Amino acid sequence: MKFYIATDHAGFNIKAKVIDILNKLGCEVVDLGPDNSDRVDYPDFAHKLCDEVLNDTGSFGVLICGTGIGMSLAANKHKGIRAALCHDAYTAQMAREHNDANVLCFGERVVGLGVIESICKAFVESSFEGGRHQNRVEKIEVD
């Protein structure tokens, strides 16, 4: 699996560890920044990441801010992006199996490293089930 990752200043400190977690799960990870913990605006990085994911078929994204809320709100403005704010392994698993999420969001100020590891593992190791969920996912987008 190929991931793009981006954060704001409130998610920056955990970014290197998340890259390491994903690498150990066998994933390629492209870091879209930021390069330091200076204050930035989370929508700038959410939009940058979503453009990359949409232009790279089959790729996924990870967006981290303080709560994960701002990143998920901004990412879900993009047609074709299904960003899921996950708090544990169960929500991450369901995000893939039922919602076909292609962007994983979480908050550095909300979940600890152990939970983040379980979130990443569940997201990577789960697949979209299709079937009855396909039609529902297609109904998410509006013109």
C-alpha to C-alpha distance for 74 and 55, rounded to whole angstroms: 17
Just list the catalytic residues. Answer: 65, 98
- CA separation (Å) from 85 to 21, 70, 93, 99? 18, 10, 12, 12
CB of 129 to ligand RB5, least distance (A): 30
- Of 12 and 59, nearer to ligand RB5 (C-beta) is 12
Spatial neighbors of 141 by CB under 8 A, at least 6 apart, are 79, 80
Nearer to ligand RB5, 14 or 101 (CB): 14
Q: What are phi and psi of 103, to 5 degrees?
A: -135, 125
Least separation, in Å, of the C-beta of 9 and ligand RB5?
7
Q: Give φ, ψ of 79 to 5 degrees.
A: -65, 125
Q: Are 1 and 101 in contact (CB under 8 A)?
A: no
Identify which of residues 33 and 121 has a Cβ nearer to ligand RB5 in the complex: 33
What is the nearest approach in angstroms of ligand RB5 to the Cβ of residue 12? 10
Which residues form the interface with ligand RB5 (CB under 6 A)? Answer: 8, 10, 42, 65-67, 69-70
Q: Which residue's CB comes closest to ligand RB5?
A: 70
